[in-house]
Amino acid sequence: MRTQVGIIGAGPAGLLLSHLLHLEGIESVILESRSRDYCEQRIRAGLLEQGSVDLLNATGLGERMRRESLVHDGIEICFRGQHRRIDIHELTGRQVSIYGQQEIVKDIIARRLADGGKILFEAQAREVGGFEGDKPFIRFEHNGSEQTLDCDYIAGCDGFHGISREAIPANLFKGYDRQYPFAWLGMLAAAPPTSPELIYCHHPEGFALFTMRSPTVSRLYLQVAVDEDAKNWSDDRIWSALQRRLGDHDGLKISMGKLSQIAVTPMRSFVTEPMRVGRMFLAGDSAHIVPPTGAKGMNLAIADVSVLARAFIAYYKKNRTDLFDSYSDTCMKRVWRAQHFSWWMTSMMHPTSSSDFDNERQIAELDAVTSSRAGSTFLAENYSGLPLAPWRD
């Protein structure tokens, strides 16, 4: 097999890149180790920045999103028995939208297949090579046989545990890593939203977050120990903790329903730099991950591929390579801004049992941020997302 751009991974980054390239007549093949059903059903992130929404709409992917997404003008922050609202739209003119990552994946897969795009599901990449020279290739296993995809360039969009980053010699990149001393217990609830907007809660027992996936499904999170086992949390224990942490603020009443997909997610920050080595480019979680407190993961992936698509278009349409050369530096400016914001939100919202000083400092910071227009604007600008550069001329 041969193509112009070989893409590893059928998550939002790989799928969107393939779609953007197709719109400019550039060929690609996507190799995905999981089944189509797995990709379309896996519950992941759900909050889209304004720029991400605008890009999906501008490229013909937003029809169902416009019908079904939940558009929010602000968020609620709770602490010390009160809740305060950050009016994102009033402060920035922007909004955020709730639309699950799996729904975006469904939309782009359907569009790519309708357009004749080539996505090979259950195609496990085994070897990535040739990218330091001029003959990149991906060896993969599909339908019980080993095959090779030759390409001009490789886009590694296969996530933190994928093969792409691992294929880069250790002396050619630097990894920045931070692990946090707590985790999130996440679950879905078959219950209507408790609130029309997200609720971030600082509580002496631990952080809690209320969000939603649809008018009938809520997504809930609780701060737990980093080594916590989800099996230790019965439905009664979960609802009791949520009632104490969220229900303690101005009489907030929590909508309850059947719980499912209960799992523990560690908190971690990671950055790979540079995001390009030779003819291979990393995008999305293969290059960086953030704690989910700031809702930046999927949005960073979308931002990466908008920059990368522009570079491929400049090369194939105008024989320019300067955007390849600047790809990593361009992405890194946004990545480190998002890392800072995610770290800041995480550090501010999660109490630590080991430090009364830090906990009181967090309360003072929350009070300052939510009572100051300047502080609220900083949060609102970063939460709703930095503007995206045009993905093509």
- The catalytic site residues sit at 72, 200, 292, 296, 383
Strand partners, 85: 76
- Helices and strands, number each (H, E), in the chain: 12, 19
Degrees to nearest 5, angle at CA 211 with 334 and 246 = 120
Q: What is the DSSP string of 310-329?
A: HHHHHHHHH---HHHHHHHH
The token pair at 283 is 């995008």
- Report the C-alpha gap between 168 and 174 in whole angstroms: 11
Degrees to nearest 5, angle at CA 23 with 18 and 27 = 50
- Report the C-alpha gap between 8 and 3 in whole angstroms: 13
Residues 276 and 282: beta-carbon distance below 8 Å: yes
- Report the C-alpha gap between 264 and 223 in whole angstroms: 9
Residues 143 and 51: beta-carbon distance below 8 Å: no
**What stretch of H or E contains 345?**
helix 322-349
- Pairing state of beta strands 174-189 and 123-129? unpaired
Residues 208 and 182: beta-carbon distance below 8 Å: no
Q: Give me the amino acid identity at 366.
A: L
